[in-house]
Amino acid sequence: QVQLVESGGGLVQAGGSLRLSCAASGSIFSISAMAWYRQAPGKQRELVAVVTDGGKTTDYADSVKGRFTISRDNNWSVYLQMNSLRVEDTAVYYCAAARGYYRVFGMDYWGKGSLVTVSS
């Protein structure tokens, strides 16, 4: 069992930056991947960024590539540095973790979410 708690969301002006944090606890060594998802009202939840292979590899949605950076520390906490924020980045951001291959089996653990609002 893994518990995930997000923090760092808030209100930011377009063009600004924000850093999200996710504290992981429990059976952290069973995690194969950690990720950030987001969901805006009326929209489907989408994968924003993922880190795998013990933090050695990362991948990003095309919409955030070059602006967002996902990272993981030695305590299995995951971070999302968001730069050059746009109004369309406004969403609830969720931290997630997978035990297996997430592309097939999805994520197994989820945080409660943190709201990011980008104003024009």
| Average pLDDT of span 67-94 | 94
Helix (H) / strand (E) containing 69: strand 68-72
Residue 28 has pLDDT above 90, yes or no: no
State the pLDDT confidence band at 112, using cuts at 50, 70 and 90: very high
Residue 53 is encoded by which pair of tokens? Answer: 């292979």
Instruction: Tell whether the model's pLDDT for residue 114 goes beyond 80.
Output: yes
Question: How large a percentage of the chain has pLDDT more than 70?
Answer: 100
pLDDT (average), residues 6-35: 95
Chain segment 45-79, per-residue pLDDT in tens: 999 999 998 788 999 999 999 999 999 987 779 99
Span 8-20, average pLDDT: 98
Report the 10 Å Cβ neighbour count for 18. 21
Q: Mean pLDDT over residues 109-113, rounded?
A: 97
DSSP state of 30: G
41/118 Cα distance (integer angstroms) = 14
pLDDT band at 105 (very low <50, low <70, confident <90, very high): very high
